[in-house]
Copies of this chain bind each other. A is one copy, B any other.
Amino acid sequence: MSGGEESDVFAPLFNEQGLIPAVVTDARDGAVLMLAYMNRDALKLTLETGEAHFWSRSRQKFWIKGETSGHTQNVKDIAFDCDGDTLLIQVDQIGAACHEGYKSCFFRSVDGGNGGVKTTEPQLVPPEQVYAKK
Q: Which residues of A contact B (CB under 8 A)?
A: 1-3, 6-10, 21, 23, 25, 29-32, 34-36, 47-48, 54, 56-59, 77-83, 86, 88, 98-100, 102, 105-110, 113, 115-117, 120, 134
Q: How many copies of this chain?
A: 2
Shortest CB distance A46–B (Å): 10
List of B residues within 8 angstroms of A21 by Cβ = 21, 35
Asked, given contacts A1-B99, A21-B21, A56-B2, whether A8 binds B105 with beta carbons under 8 Å apart, the answer is no
Interface SS, A side? loop
Question: Which of B35, B57, B82, B88 has a CB less than 8 Å from the CB of A100?
Answer: B82
Report 14 cross-chain contacts, Cβ distance below 8 Å, ordered by A residue. Answer: A1-B105, A2-B57, A10-B110, A10-B117, A29-B30, A32-B88, A48-B113, A77-B110, A79-B120, A80-B108, A80-B110, A82-B102, A82-B107, A86-B106
